[in-house]
């Protein structure tokens, strides 16, 4: 992995909330950033009808060139499509983009085309069985910094019934595969898929607990109100922070690799976890 890509991975690893804005509503970008989202993704793909894409690209160019511009990620159309070619041409006119979210990534060549055409960091969005099958090959391509996935599209392709215990099993298998592949290839941890019901704070909080405990990076959000819920759910509890501080303090004081706190054995993995938590 080249040093530039590694640097970009380190940068996006700080982003926990990724908020979508339709490319037809550029006026909402400022509001999206004001919500506290770590990253804003302007969507040129599913959120924009084919007949509206040309006008959306013009609006994006105007926003990029304006004094109010803040670096956005841009979700572009699938590789090989006519819309993809036009999206790449647009990206070449917008060098200050934060990066690209490549919709419906399925092959290593898809990622390579996006990177070679833009020179921007790429997040591959996995939305099909073929794409999921090929994540290892995609992970080796220069310019790729991480993965996310579209669960509804994957369920449709796999003929999995959404909202069932079976779908939960499949979702966790997808998360596991993305987490493992990302770790092996030294990419940023993957970003979890959207939570469709933006009024369900309890359910969203439970989802955040699940993917964060699995070692994922952050989450795609579809509504500004989800941002604060995700950020709050990721905060460690006071008891967790207190324990972590005591672990680190004792480790730095004693220099011992194994010791005991409150009847619990502390060794290297616990120390490492405590350092991560405090960081």
DSSP 87-104: HHHHHHT-TT--EEEETT
For the chain, what percent of residues have pLDDT higher than 90?
A: 79
Confidence of residue 271 (pLDDT cuts 50, 70, 90): confident
Q: The domain at 3-234 falls in which architecture?
A: Alpha-Beta Barrel (3.20)
Give the tens place of pLDDT for each residue, 126-183: 999 999 999 999 999 999 999 999 999 999 999 999 999 999 999 999 999 999 999 9
Q: Where are the domains of the chain?
A: 3-234, 238-278
The secondary structure of residue 195, as a DSSP letter, is -
Q: Cα–Cα–Cα angle for 86, 97, 192, nearest 5°?
A: 95
Q: Give me the mean pLDDT over the 102-111 stretch.
A: 98
- Which helix or strand (DSSP H or E) is residue 145 part of? strand 144-149
**pTM above 0.85?**
yes
Q: Give me the mean pLDDT over the 112-125 stretch.
A: 97
**Please, are residues 73 and 98 in contact by the beta-carbon 8 Å criterion?**
yes
Identify any residues that bridge with 40 across adjacent strands, giving them in sequence order. 19
Q: What is the dihedral of CA 104, 105, 109, 113, to 10 degrees?
A: 70
> What's the pLDDT score for residue 240?
82
The sign of the CA dihedral 44, 183, 234, 245 is negative
Q: Give me the mean pLDDT over the 234-250 stretch.
A: 85
**Please, are residues 29 and 84 in contact by the beta-carbon 8 Å criterion?**
no
> What's the pLDDT score for residue 257?
84
Between strands 122-126 and 39-43, the pairing is unpaired
């Amino acid at each position: 992995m080249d040093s530039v890509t590694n640097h970009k991975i380190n940068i996006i690893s700080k982003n926990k909330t990724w908020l979508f804005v339709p490319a037809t509503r550029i006026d909402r970008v400022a509001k999206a950033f004001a919500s506290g989202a770590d990253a804003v993704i302007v969507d040129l793909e599913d959120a924009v009808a084919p007949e509206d894409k040309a006008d959306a690209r013009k609006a994006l160019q105007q926003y990029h060139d304006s004094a109010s511009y803040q670096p956005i990620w841009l979700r572009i159309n699938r590789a090989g499509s006519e819309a993809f070619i036009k999206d790449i041409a647009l990206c070449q006119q917008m060098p200050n983009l934060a990066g690209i979210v490549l919709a419906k990534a399925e092959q290593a060549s898809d990622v390579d085309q996006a990177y070679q055409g833009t020179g921007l960091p790429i997040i591959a969005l996995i939305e099909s069985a073929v794409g999921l099958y090929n994540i290892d090959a995609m992970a080796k391509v220069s310019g790729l910094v991480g993965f996310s996935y579209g669960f509804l599209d994957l369920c449709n392709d796999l003929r999995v019934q959404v909202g069932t215990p079976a779908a939960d099993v499949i979702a966790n298998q997808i998360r596991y595969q993305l987490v493992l592949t990302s770790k092996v290839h030294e990419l940023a941890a993957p970003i979890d898929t959207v939570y469709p019901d933006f009024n369900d704070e309890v359910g969203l909080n439970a989802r955040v607990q699940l993917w964060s405990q699995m070692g994922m990076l952050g989450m795609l959000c579809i509504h500004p109100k989800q941002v604060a819920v995700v950020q709050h759910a990721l905060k460690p509890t006071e008891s967790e922070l207190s324990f972590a501080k005591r672990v680190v303090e004792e480790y730095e004081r004693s220099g011992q690799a194994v010791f005991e706190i409150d009847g619990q054995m502390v060794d290297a993995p616990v120390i490492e976890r405590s350092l991560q938590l405090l960081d």
